[in-house]
Amino acid sequence: MNRRNELFAAILTLVMIIAAGLQVIIALAAGAPMLIATGILTTLLALPVLQNTARSPQVTLENDGLSIHTSLWGTHKVPFAAISAIREDPSLPPAGAEIYRQKAVGKANYRPVEGKILVASGLPLPYRVVGFFAGEGLNAVIAINSRSVSNYARLMPLIEQRWQQATAR
């Protein structure tokens, strides 16, 4: 994701959490218990928005692992030994499902998105939220796809090869 989208998602998450807190305060002051439920619901709805702040970070391949960077959460080093699995990204649209994108870019220029998720340990909460929505429970996940990384076709095989070498030791 680009910096503007990450910042927008962070601001929206903050607004939603503040709104949820205000709903609970108003509920307690006015004696309206249903407002507490809406505060909880608003907080839960903020989680998918928070996911967008860390979903597809910039990735740099290094000798001992990956360096991931987002404008909001900074740079984190992920050693290959900390990656427990590499899987297909379940949140990407299936082939043929992006009808409007095909029309927008033209069938000749359209390429279906490819992507994988890296299940890693030692990353902060936003990456765990990404993992939750990717079906990995509360494990941290880094999503890498062909739309967020310009050299995906070269980068992903290198990451998989170095990860296999690191886990074989």
Residue 1: pLDDT band by 50, 70, 90 thresholds? low
- What are the helix (H) ranges across the chain? 3-30, 34-51, 99-105, 125-133, 152-168
How confident is the model at residue 19, as a pLDDT?
95
**Who contacts 167 (Cβ-Cβ below 8 Å, separation ≥6)?**
80, 81, 83
C-alpha dihedral (85, 90, 95, 97), degrees to nearest 10: -160
How confident is the model at residue 168, as a pLDDT?
82
Q: Could you read off the pLDDT of 37-86 as tens digits, one per residue?
A: 999 999 999 999 999 888 889 899 998 999 999 888 999 999 999 999 99
> How would you classify the pairing of strands 65-70 and 74-79?
antiparallel
Phi, psi of 55 (to 5 degrees): -60, -55
pTM of the entire predicted model: 0.84
Q: Could you read off the pLDDT of 86-103 as tens digits, one per residue?
A: 999 998 888 778 888 888
C-alpha dihedral (124, 125, 129, 135), degrees to nearest 10: 60
> How would you classify the pairing of strands 58-61 and 65-70?
antiparallel
